[in-house]
Structure 1
Amino acid sequence: MTAPTLPRALAEPTERVPTRWVLWVVLASVGLWSGFFGPIQVLLAQQAEAISPDHKEAVLALVTGVGAAVSMVLNPVWGAFSDRTTLRVGRRMPWVVGGAAGGVVAMVVLANAHTVWVMVAGWALAQAGLNAMLAAITATVPDQVPGKDRGTVGGAIAIAQTVGVVVGSGIAAATGSIAAGYLTVAVVLLVTTLPYALDSRDVPLPPELRPPFAWGAFWRSFWVSPRLHPDFGWAWFTRFLMNLGNAFLILYLLYYLKDDVGLSDKAAEDNVFTLTAVYGLFTLLTALGAGYWSDRVGRRKVFVIWSGLITAASLLLFALVPTLPAAYVAAVIQGIGFGAYTAVDFALITQVLPGARDRGKDLGVINIANALPQVLAPALAAGVLAVGLGYVGLYVLAAAVSVLGSVLVVRIRSLD
């Protein structure tokens, strides 16, 4: 007796995706990440300082912390709902489009925010919308891309993330006002999502395969036992550590340049953009190459480990040599390391998922490892700064957790 054939929505993909589809996913991802990082790197910090100059760090910590908490909860929830979506246009595309629309509305709210609590509400709404988009766009890769090609596609998505970071921070630096920055980010998000919406190649789930819904079972499904799925557990934990180290750098880069390097407000804002651009350039040069190389040799862990250690070295340079030239050297090293890491670790994660039916939900659980560091980093950073260790202590801590996140990848057993 032959085994029953799985429907296409739940089968492991075997056909190579068209180049144009990868381009649409990359464009949508550029808009998505500009929506995240334009505010995170510059606009929220500027707005916090404009609203409460004497408590800017506390305001920024509150806004980003609440937003990250929203992200941590809703990303896997949206992913789970997309797994169960049975619309004819597919499982993922409605959540990509709906999330982008929510992000646009949030940017309009933030553009008109003049109090701390409107900032908090606007950024929470942005995180809710953008995480619906992120959950769906991430799950569409294992839905449609064969495992042997995911390093290359992961590299393309890593490039998109980097370009989105550069675009977002560039918008913030070039528009000249906080409100104009948010509105421009909204336009970019809308325009870059449109091609994917028109040609998503999304695969519908037959309605008869949607399981009965019960709230208790739904919430319990978010616990993926590390005992039953140890490789998934180690992939989650190591990504969490790497993103925690990176969050320390990104969230406090503007203040580091002002307070430790000694730049003026305008010079610090300009150099956040140019440092990000340098980082982005070297990410572009390494991400796709590392992903392709990983596909060719059929290995993931060695790339993830070494790229993580390179990233840790850049954080140490930021910590120990607080000068502008050293910051640019560190940005080069960071781009080389984190570009390769992002590409190959994404491929690794898609290959340790527990099953095809819950790809969106499980990748959403993985994405908690991206969001939780944004919740913890402000609190941990506030403690480090409060005891007088300064940004040297903060970035040494960032390097240490990045090293730990690199070496623990050896505990993943099912992949080379």
Structure 2
Amino acid sequence: MSVASHEPEATTNDPHDGRGLPGLRENRLFPLLSTLVLTAVVLFLFWSALSSVFLALQVKQLDPEGAAGGLAKVLAVGAIGALLSAPLAGALSDRTRSRIGGRGPWMLGGAVVTLVLAFLIGRASSTTELMVYWTLVQASTNFIFTPLLVHIPERVPLARRGIFSAGLGLSHLGGMLLGSAVGAAFATRLTVGYLLVSVLLVLAVTAFVLVNRRSNVGTPTSAFRLGPLLRTFWVNPVKHPAFGLVFLGRFLFMTGFFPTTVYLLYVLQDYLGLGDAAVARMPAVSLASLVGSLIGTPLAGWLTDRLRATRPLIYASSAIMVVAFVLPLVFPTFIGLLAYSFLIGLGFASFGAVDYVLITKVLPSQDDAGKDLGIINMTTTLSQTLGVGVAGALIGAVGSYAVLFPLGIVLVSLGAVCVMFIKGVR
């Protein structure tokens, strides 16, 4: 294996021409699709089990009085690790040459390192140790996820990318649901749970790499330069105000959404008063969200194509989420939280279905679309870093997890307001 250039692996088809292409099986896209979805499901399962259940339980065991603040620190610092590692993972895998391709070695290495770190997390004796190990896990799993995603633009023609995007969306939903179920099943055996989900990840990544291996030895290479990599983090919002407003609006929207997801176990335990029974209720809450998502995703996508407009659907998605945030305040019961979960899944999935359509309309340059989409995707990591941290501070100041819901109302509403000021887009 060697590391050198920015040249991508060769593609099997012209990515800009989907006409006359054979079906998925004939084009060897079916093995790529099936193994990509499998790997993504297991990766989202891993992230969900750890961030929503295992870490929350472990932090509460280590620091019962300061659980909210402790979990916020662990997840926020970990998100910084993800933010910094994602572009590095892409750049290094771009420049790697091996018999199994440029992506495979880094994916396999990331999976093995994640397995070791998961074992160490299970044995952590302080929140500081958890914070260090979780940050490293976020980095190691990004060396799986980023190269995994790059297979789509590299190997899949434009005419076939829709089904891959849909597969990734469903893998996210399925992985989150399975992660909650696995987390609940191993709530009293955290070390075993950590090892189980990480072993599954190693197996899924290994299968993906073996099925989709393709030598890129001999592909032209060029020197690694730090300057161009650093410049990929910036687009001038003054020169491109629509892009800046989409970035800000998406950041606010995500920051309103993530804290309630991260602190969901604590909401069940403390705000609803379920105590130890809360863990067993987590899968039901996730299932309600999944049902809402399965309705919202295709419906919003169909309406976007039908209306040829994105802003009205973003307003509608925001309104649905605001109603969702109100419900637990008015009905602080498990049924009320199930209704919240269904509506938050419906609203967030509807937003996700039209979000990237709006983004593609405001990209500063189609020539740099990949780089600009990467900048937009940083809003997800930044919202986890700042949103969870701010929410943890508010919970500590107010003394109740109820503060998460008005916080969500304010931030999601402000995100919708940002979209209102975008010019030249319906």
1:264-319 deviation per Cα after TM superposition (whole angstroms, max 9, x unaligned): 22x11122222012212332343345446646776555444433432232122233
Matches within 5 A, 1:99-248: 99-145=110-156, 152-175=163-186, 176-200=188-212, 207-208=219-220, 211-248=222-259
1:13-412 correspondence runs (5 A): 13-15=16-18, 18-87=29-98, 89-145=100-156, 152-175=163-186, 176-200=188-212, 207-208=219-220, 211-265=222-276, 267-288=277-298, 290-291=300-301, 294=304, 300-346=310-356, 348-349=358-359, 362-388=372-398, 390-409=400-419
The structural deviation recorded for 1:112 is 2.1
In the TM superposition, residue 202 of structure 1 has moved relative to its aligned partner by 7.3
SS at match of 1:54: coil
Unaligned runs of 5+ in 1: 1-5
Is the contact between residue 294 and residue 300 of structure 1 (CA under 8 Å) also seen in structure 2?
Answer: yes
Preserved CA contact (<8 Å) 2:246 2:418? no
**Structure-2 separation of matches of 1:34 and 1:303:** 29
CA distance in 1, matches of 2:164, 2:314: 16
Residue 114 of structure 1: SS of its match in structure 2? coil
Secondary structure of 1:113's match? Answer: coil
Partners of 2:247 and 2:209 in 1: how far apart?
30
**CA-to-partner distance for each residue in 1:362-391, whole Å, 9 max, x for gaps?**
444333211112221233123322442733
Secondary structure of 2:398's aligned partner:
coil
Question: 1:254 deviation in Å?
Answer: 1.4
Identity %: 30
CA contact (8 A) 1:159 1:283 kept: no
SS of the residue 2:65 aligns to: helix
Change (3 A) 1:88 1:167: same
Deviations 1:385-414 (A, max 9, x none): 244273333211112211222343355667
Kept in 2: contact 1:162–1:280 (CA 8 A) = yes
Contact 1:171/1:184 (8 A) holds in 2: no
Query: Once the 2 structures are TM-superposed, how far is the Cα of residue 336 of structure 1 from its aligned partner?
Result: 1.4
Distance in structure 1 (CA, Å) of the matches to 2:359 and 2:370: 12
Kindly indicate whether the alpha-carbon contact (under 8 Å) linking 1:152 and 1:291 is maintained by their aligned counterparts in 2. Answer: no
Which amino acid in structure 2 is aligned with residue 35 of structure 1? Answer: F
Q: Per-residue deviation at 1:321?
A: 2.5
Q: Distance in 2 between matches of 1:202 and 1:329?
A: 47
Contact in 1 for aligned 2:232/2:375 (Cα 8 Å): no
Provide the rounded CA distance (Å) in 2 between the counterparts of 1:246 and 1:387: 20
Partner of 2:5: none
Matching residue of 1:3: none
152-161 or 224-233: which moved more?
224-233
Q: Which stretch shifts more, 97-106 or 167-176?
A: 97-106
What is the alpha-carbon distance in structure 1 between the residues aligned to residue 416 and residue 10 of structure 2? 35
2:108 and 2:281 map into 1 onto residues whose CA distance is 33
SS of 1:13 mapped into structure 2: coil
Unaligned runs of 5+ in 2: 1-7
Q: 1:217-266 CA deviation, whole Å, 9 max, x = no partner?
A: 4323322333455454344323222221121111211111222211122x
Question: In structure 1, what residue type is equivalent to 2:204?
Answer: T
- Report the Cα distance in structure 1 between the residues aligned to 2:316 and 2:151, rounded to whole angstroms: 28
Asked if 1 retains the 8 angstrom alpha-carbon contact of 2:9 and 2:101, the reply is no
- Tell me the matched-pair count: 409
The equivalent of 2:4 in structure 1 is none
**Structure 1: distance between partners of 2:204 and 2:363:** 29
Relative contact order, higher structure (CA 8 A, sep 6+): 1
Residue 234 to residue 96, structure 1, CA distance change in 2 (3 Å):
farther
Q: Bigger CA drift: 386-395 or 9-18?
A: 9-18
Could you give the per-residue CA deviations for residues 156-180 of structure 1, whole angstroms, max 9, x where no partner exists? 3121111111111111111231112
